[in-house]
Amino acid sequence: MTYFFARRVGLGLLVVAGVVVLTFVIARVIPGDPASSWVGPHASAAQLRDARHTLGLDRPLPIQLWRFVRGVLDGDWGMSIHTHQPVLSDLATRAPASLELVTAALLLALALGILAGLVAARWRGRPLDVLVRLTSVFGVSMPSFWFALILQLVFFQTLHALPVSGEYDPALDTTHPLAVHTHAPLLDALVTANWPVLGSAVSHLILPMLVVAAYPGGVIARMVRASVLDTLGEEHVRMVRALGFHERTVFARFALKPSLNPVISVTALVFAYSLTNTFLVEAIFDWPGLGSYAADAIQSLDTPAIVGVTLFVALVYVAANLAVDLAQAVLDPRIRLR
């Protein structure tokens, strides 16, 4: 088991290394002189030279790569040209908001998706199954940005029911100021027992969460349904039926666990997709996360920031895959052999 774990981590690190190199290559290809962006349009030649030196742009390429890699490992991810802050601290400030949204959305998608998939498989061919299949294919086909706009239109404009921008009501900043720890308002409010902000944060989370959850929810529901149906056709389910167990027990106790395997791996897949979907949606909902940060960075050709975001997301993806691999190994003893 430990060998399996070590091997997986090793492979993960290999991929991370490749990602770092690839990111660096992309960064070097981006046009525009980072030094002149750094100092602004009215800089003198001397200032420009200093900037180039500070940013390490006067060294040969392999040295730059080496410094880059070392920097990444040391925690120095460069300085954002736009914000003039260390990229890593920028990420620390902005990432939690996106992670909060993605996690909430994924939890919702998992809960609803698994439930829907199970129901559809259990009552295959019946109206409930058809409903689940239609809803999930809608979820998978829905353009997230459009869905966000439509929800805004319906819930805010027409129904005046739910808030559509920001993470929580800005008026609360004066009445119940939030102590910032993790930069994720929901967590911070929970930890500091700031109930008004917590309530506001939750209500502000609902619409963006729904939008981001649509795609993974659909994927998971379809996957669960297919997986359970596959398992139900397998020999071991036939044997258990032949032993006299009630269909309910066959379903819940014997068919469920073996079916969960593909669900877990699909979750890692949709996690990365959802993270980028989150970025799309952040602009529409005024959500101050990585998405808006990345959008700004791209507009201003802020190479270190772009590199930082790309690297961060890639690392998150690798970590998610690793977690999935391990979860699969725990759930299915056959995998530990590989």
The residue ranges that bind other proteins (CB under 8 A) are 11, 14-16, 18-19, 22, 26, 29-31, 137-138, 140-146, 149-150, 152-153, 157, 229-230, 233-236, 238-246, 253-254, 257-258, 272-273, 275-277, 279-280, 284, 294-295, 298, 301, 306, 309-310, 313-314, 317-318, 331-334, 337
DSSP structural state of residue 168: S
**Considering the complex, what minimum distance in angstroms separates the CB of residue 81 from other proteins?**
14
Question: How large is the angle between the packed helices 303-331 and 87-122, nearest 10 degrees?
Answer: 40
The residue among 111 and 137 lying less far from other proteins, judged by its C-beta, is: 137
Between CA 210 and CA 106 the distance in angstroms is: 10
**Considering the complex, what minimum distance in angstroms separates the CB of residue 302 from other proteins?**
10
Q: CB-hemisphere CA count at 13 Å for 135?
A: 19
Neighbours of 189 (CB within 10 A): 24
The residue among 193 and 242 lying less far from other proteins, judged by its C-beta, is: 242
**Considering the complex, what minimum distance in angstroms separates the CB of residue 29 from other proteins?**
6
Q: Compute φ and ψ for 234, nearest 5 degrees.
A: -80, 165
145-162: burial string, b at 16+ Cβ within 10 Å, e else: eebbeebbeebeeeeeeb
Neighbours of 253 (CB within 10 A): 12
**Considering the complex, what minimum distance in angstroms separates the CB of residue 266 from other proteins?**
13
The residue among 187 and 280 lying less far from other proteins, judged by its C-beta, is: 280
The residue among 187 and 327 lying less far from other proteins, judged by its C-beta, is: 327
Closest CA to 292 of 43, 38, 302, 118: 302
**Considering the complex, what minimum distance in angstroms separates the CB of residue 68 from other proteins?**
16
The residue among 139 and 185 lying less far from other proteins, judged by its C-beta, is: 139
